[in-house]
Chain A
Amino acid sequence: MKKRSTTLLLFLSILMIFITVFTGCFEQQQTHLDAVEIREYQGEKLSAVNDFRENSIKGPQRINRSTYQLKITGLVEDQINYTYDEVLSMFQHYKKIVTLDCVEGWSVKILWEGILVRDLISTATPDANATTIIFKAYDGYTTSFPLNYTTDTPILLAYKMNNATLPPERGFPFQLVAESKWGYKWIKWVTEIELADNENYKGYWESRGYANSGNLNESFFEQ
């Protein structure tokens, strides 16, 4: 009986040593994990990241963080390419709860964290002739706004939602938080911001019959 207890004790000791050693190994290889999604912020209930419906034109895009570049092109004095880390480190961060209303009838209330589009484009010094801002995505999706929409209002280019980094399905690395606009204006996987003087530019859905303004208080069909 005593021999069995000693064997069991010895086995447990060896098991503990193994666990300790392997945990140590894993600790050395550990990578920084992102914060867990929050569902309430300052007393306000939030929707979940999974409450979104997948309705992108080519399905979720997977963008490599290390090779990613955000280009600012068009009618600017300096065409600039930013890496993901540069965007996060060079600009002030803001948090805001904004509801996305999709034309399909569903909506989600999310805490967005990002940088201001106007801060980003000001570094490239926009040309005086620029009237339109065109956002382009990794999957070929595009949408546009009058330039003053992003300069007069604090529009976010978000990299976090509900305190967690955007997952690929939700637009990593950046999603536009086009508040007071229909969901089709909230472009995901943003790779390029172009300033232009073409006020009639039409993005992906806009060229297929959706309103170019995309204002929430108006019909999303082109009148």
Chain B
Amino acid sequence: MNLLHLSKTIIHVSLTFVSILFIITGLGISNYQLIEPLTGGALSKPTSFQIHTNLLIPFIILLSVHIGLTLGKKIQKKISS
């Protein structure tokens, strides 16, 4: 039970982190004039592109697992009630 709870926490936290990074790198592509100086040059347009492209699959996997876990919990609650 503890392991399941820990896994859920890891999934949720990872999804939050990946989502934020996905949005920031997206902005790093479309608004690079703003994001590049704000990140001290660390998030340039090409870097944003690389990260944003590579994040797509992890984002979809994490989102699917997150939705699966949430729906599973709801279904379990309905059955038990």
- B interface residues with partner A (beta carbon < 8 Å): 29-30, 32-33, 44-47, 49-50
Contact = CB atoms under 8 A, between A and B. Distances in A.
A55 B33 CA distance: 8
**Do most interface residues of chain B lie in helix, strand or loop, or is the interface mixed?**
helix
A208 interface: yes
A209 B47 contact: yes
Interface residues of A, number: 11
A211 to B, nearest CB: 10
B46 A209 contact: yes
Contacts of B45: 205, 208
A205 B29 contact: no
B30 A205 contact: no
B74 to A, nearest CB: 36
B29 A104 contact: yes
Contact of B30 (A104, A209, A210, A221): A104
A103 interface: yes
A208 B50 CA distance: 12
A183 to B, nearest CB: 12
